[in-house]
Amino acid sequence: MILVTGSAGLIGNSVSRFFLEKKENVFGIDNNQRKKFFGINGSVQKNITSLRKIRKFKHFQIDILNKKKLEKFFKKYNFDLIVHAAAQPSHDWSATNPQLDFNINANGTLNILECIRKYNSKSIFIYLSTNKVYGDKVNYFNYKELNSRYEVEKKYKNGFNENLSIDNSKHSPFGVSKLSGDLLVQEYGKYFNIKTVCLRAGCLTGETHAGVELHGFLSYLFKCSFYKKKYYIYGYKGKQVRDNLSSYDVASIIWELYKKPPKAGEVFNIGGGRKSNISVSEAIKKCELITGNKFNYKYVNIERSGDHKFWITDMSKFKKNYPNWRIKYIIDDILYQMNDYEKFSKLKR
């Protein structure tokens, strides 16, 4: 049996469906906190409703901060794989309520780890971490300014790997809370010998992403283009670069980890890498081409605090350990999938 926390979010939903297609029994935990964080546009209720219709899926509305309910749940069920995708996911939102952000991302993760240690210590535990654990250290490398993007010095031509320091940089409260969870996951692996792994992700995306201004860069940018809404570019002349990995490809990474469990306390950077990356400026042009709509944006000459100027992931470590894994969807594929999804959603209204 598989357990997915945050099962209605972008990654949780994709992982749940991926494993359901593999004929696995999937249990999902989700209480739609995204609606509280981001309003109605951030709600994932439709994913909850859709998943509950699938025979091999069971939904549980549990708050991961409720230790008593979690203990009762883990005492009753035993899982082969636990994917922890529940989180407060926004860099910017975290600054509005750092205490709640930390409670969810750090203490919520600790609650789950304790339940695993007590009742489910033979399971594989996968934590969806983030590249924000490295802070803004990458902003101080050398960059060349090109017409539509920044490009990093040759030393990092293949992207950033797990050897980046997590110290002496600005992370945002979100980066700190996720790093705290990340370190706990590593420690429960190494100290208690549980098969844990942290997946430090760049931008994750997909057509089912409920992207909002404070979270979900590519999804939100595309929605602004499709629905002709104003988009705000914050700093870096719109030349900041992000790699993007589809939620399907994240699920396929987790499938590899399920088939061949990692060593205890393992850490992998995951992302679109050199095959799937884009700047804000480039994304605007692609969206205009795909939607046929002229993009409505305003430039704000102030960078978001602690925001990355450039991020491309080096997945060499993961690929060395799991050589059969291949990325399936790159930027253009993802944007066309978003276009088809929004067209279909519009027709259903």
Q: What is the pLDDT of residues 84-103, one digit of tens each?
A: 999 999 989 999 999 999 99
DSSP characters for 261-313? PPPTTEEEEES-GGGSEEEHHHHHHHHHHHH-PPP-EEEESSPPTT--SEE-B
- pLDDT, residue 34, reads 87
* Residue 217 domain flag: no
Name the domain count of the chain.
Answer: 1
* Residue 99 domain flag: yes
Residue 195 has pLDDT above 90, yes or no: yes
What single DSSP character describes residue 202? S
- pLDDT, residue 349, reads 61
- pLDDT, residue 346, reads 72
Least Cα distance to 47 among 3, 86, 13 occurs for: 13
Q: What is the CA radius of gyration of the chain?
A: 19
* Residue 345 domain flag: no
Q: What is the mean pLDDT of the chain?
A: 95
Positions of E strands within the chain: 2-5, 26-29, 57-60, 81-84, 124-130, 143-145, 150-152, 195-201, 203-205, 231-234, 241-246, 266-270, 277-279, 297-300, 310-311
Q: Report the CATH number that the domain containing residue 23 is assigned in CATH.
A: 3.40.50.720
- pLDDT, residue 210, reads 85
Q: Give me the mean pLDDT over the 205-228 stretch.
A: 92
Least Cα distance to 191 among 118, 264, 120, 125 occurs for: 264
Q: Decide if 3 contacts 119 (C-beta within 8 A).
A: no
* Residue 30 domain flag: yes
pLDDT in tens, 154-181: 999 999 999 999 999 999 999 999 999 9
- pLDDT, residue 345, reads 79
Q: Decide if 244 contacts 312 (C-beta within 8 A).
A: no
* Residue 239 domain flag: no
- β-pair type (231-234, 297-300): parallel
Q: What percent of the chain has pLDDT over 90?
A: 90
Q: Decide if 274 contacts 316 (C-beta within 8 A).
A: no
* Residue 283 domain flag: no
* Residue 237 domain flag: no
Please tell me whether residue 36 adopts helix, strand or coil conformation: helix
Strand partners, 233: 299
Q: Give me the mean pLDDT over the 263-277 stretch.
A: 97
Domain span at residue 42?
2-140+153-208+245-274+308-330
Which of 229-264 are b and which e, b meaning 16 or more Cβ less than 10 Å from the residue's Cβ?
eebebbbbebbbbbbbbbbbbbbbbbbebbeebbeb
Residue 5 CA to residue 83 CA, distance in Å, equals 6
- pLDDT, residue 211, reads 87
- pLDDT, residue 74, reads 97
* Residue 233 domain flag: no
pLDDT band at 112 (very low <50, low <70, confident <90, very high): very high
Q: Give me the mean pLDDT over the 262-287 stretch.
A: 97
pLDDT band at 42 (very low <50, low <70, confident <90, very high): confident
